[in-house]
Amino acid sequence: MLPAYSPESYTDFSQPTARRAFEDALALVRSRFGQRYPLVVGDQRIVLDDTFASVNPANPSEVLGYFANGTAEHADQALRAATDAFRTWQYASAQERARYLLRAAAEMRRRKHEFSAALVYEVGKSWAEADADTAEAIDFFEYYARQMLRLADSDHLLTAYPPEQLNLQYIPLGVGAIIPPWNFANAILSGMTSAALVTGNTVVLKPAEQSPLLGWMVAELFWEQHLPAGVLNFITGPGEVVGARMVESPLTRFVSFTGSRSVGVGIYEKAARVQPGQKWLKRAILEMGGKDAVLVDETADLELAAQGIVASAFGFQGQKCSAGSRAILVDSVYERVVERVVSLTQTLSVGSTAAGPEVYMGPVIDQEAYDKIRGYIEIGAQEGKLLTGGHVIETETNGYFIPPTVFGDVLETARIAQEEIFGPVLACMRARDFDDALRIANGTEYGLTGAVYSRSRERLEQARREFHVGNLYFNRKCTGALVGIHPFGGFNMSGTDSKAGGPDYLLLFTQAKSIAERL
């Protein structure tokens, strides 16, 4: 008997005890800096001399850990181990599989701040963002465990046919390649991995190069629950080597990927090619980028809208696929909203998030992201009017800090209005009226999230019909989807709309078997 699912509550860091507990967790994570981590394939730990470092983006001279530079051969080895383990794991009962997730949830809850502290150091999350990321990981475990138990009991969905006894089983697919991004280094990685495992698949997990420590911590959490060897294999290394091999191998039955549009499209094409010896058509679950918009009309609560725009654009430095990187404002309120957005943006603090919960924005993830975002700021200065931010932040630690940056009077055709920047850069755009705002909002190749601020019932209903995004929000920000509450995933080039954290998600990791026995 399980209590009903409800999302994990967030930590109140204004409480001195919570603050102290988090500081202790930061110290604990720091005390492990510089360790070396192996690949884990079946029951073997493979230590390599060839390693890469996971560094603190607020201070890149600090090394969180050294991770093995795996090769295509290691990927093959891991896929073989997963294939062997699948022979038995596929028959573990749904109850047994669900229990692994429930135990992982309980343990992660006990060590919540430790996981969040690792997020602060490894990807530069603020305390609140890190706390939410860990809460979401716990939510995925709790939610998918319950969803699997529901799926395991599907016979009643069929129409009774008395001459036969009927049975509908959602059986696993086989070996999955799990390829997550770094930006929700705990939540997305935990969600993708646990969904595959609870449905009876075995996996090879390859965390993003920027956040292998979180991947290790999650994998270790499962191994500590005595998950059988080979069910969850862990390999690190370059995505274009290790990840590419995982996608191409004939042993792989499905790919679960979350990341950029360009890598996702490449995986889609490669996974479609049937390799010699391959006995199935691979399934590809691909969640990709966004160019999400917040719309405001003249009937809206403009203060609420400005706050929503700023939170959507700059939470976690704008490095969310759901980040609201476009504010589309009807002409009559454009000046007022933009003025308020700029003044709210100027109150945001930027710095090392390890310093305390007051720091709102940390660094961007790495030098490559820093250069890319700075490049877009230069492009933006040509395409629009720089209203705030845009300057270079020098620090003694050489952290990858970029100030929250707002451009005004950006045209819908501008590159900063069309391309995913994945950083703290907001493009404010003027629309003639609400129809025009909706047209501009739908005018990119993406379709992930969107928000509308309006008090007009008619316009909200129009947006409900016409705003073509997977996650649409009214009178609230366009980030912060909750597991089980806002099933998450987008349209068009935002991906396959898998709706993570929703009631249909686990079906993607299964195939249905219909069995009839004549009585």
Should residue 188 be labelled a site residue for ligand NAD when binding is judged by CB under 6 A? yes
Candidates 188, 225, 213, 237; CA nearest to 29 is: 213
Binding test (CB under 6 A) with ligand NAD, winner from 126, 420, 424, 438: 420
Closest separation between CB of residue 501 and ligand NAD, Å?
10
> What does the alpha-carbon distance between residue 494 and residue 286 come to, in Å, rounded to a whole number?
8
Should residue 243 be labelled a site residue for ligand NAD when binding is judged by CB under 6 A? yes
> What does the alpha-carbon distance between residue 149 and residue 279 come to, in Å, rounded to a whole number?
29
Binding test (CB under 6 A) with ligand NAD, winner from 174, 181, 200, 447: 181
Should residue 425 be labelled a site residue for ligand NAD when binding is judged by CB under 6 A? no
Closest separation between CB of residue 490 and ligand NAD, Å?
6
> What does the alpha-carbon distance between residue 289 and residue 279 come to, in Å, rounded to a whole number?
31
Is 287 noted as a catalytic residue in this protein?
Answer: yes
Comparison of 271 and 328: residue with beta carbon closer to ligand NAD:
271
- The residue with tokens 């749904």 is 94
Should residue 137 be labelled a site residue for ligand NAD when binding is judged by CB under 6 A? no
The overall longest dimension of the chain from CA atoms, in Å, is 78
Cβ–Cβ < 8 Å for 216, 234:
yes
**CA atoms lying within 13 Å on the CB side of residue 312:** 35
Should residue 348 be labelled a site residue for ligand NAD when binding is judged by CB under 6 A? no
Is 136 noted as a catalytic residue in this protein?
Answer: no
Should residue 441 be labelled a site residue for ligand NAD when binding is judged by CB under 6 A? no
**Which residues, 6 or more positions from 1, have their beta carbon under 8 angstroms from its beta carbon?**
none
Should residue 502 be labelled a site residue for ligand NAD when binding is judged by CB under 6 A? no
Helices (H) and strands (E) in the chain, counts: 15, 19
Residue among 114, 129, 136, 287 flagged as catalytic: 287
Binding test (CB under 6 A) with ligand NAD, winner from 490, 497, 499, 508: 490
Residue among 321, 383, 412, 428 flagged as catalytic: 321
Return the axis-axis angle of helices 457-466 and 434-441, rounded to nearest 10°: 20
> What does the alpha-carbon distance between residue 117 and residue 422 come to, in Å, rounded to a whole number?
23
Region of 99-107, 201-209, 355-363, 386-394 interacting with ligand NAD (CB under 6 A): 201-209
Binding test (CB under 6 A) with ligand NAD, winner from 25, 208, 421, 483: 208
Should residue 511 be labelled a site residue for ligand NAD when binding is judged by CB under 6 A? no
How long is the chain? 519
**Which residues, 6 or more positions from 248, have their beta carbon under 8 angstroms from its beta carbon?**
270, 273, 275
Binding test (CB under 6 A) with ligand NAD, winner from 228, 266, 443, 480: 266
Should residue 471 be labelled a site residue for ligand NAD when binding is judged by CB under 6 A? no
List residues binding ligand NAD (CB under 6 A): 179-184, 188, 206, 208-209, 239-240, 243-244, 247, 258-260, 263, 266-267, 287-290, 321, 420, 422, 448, 489-490, 494-495
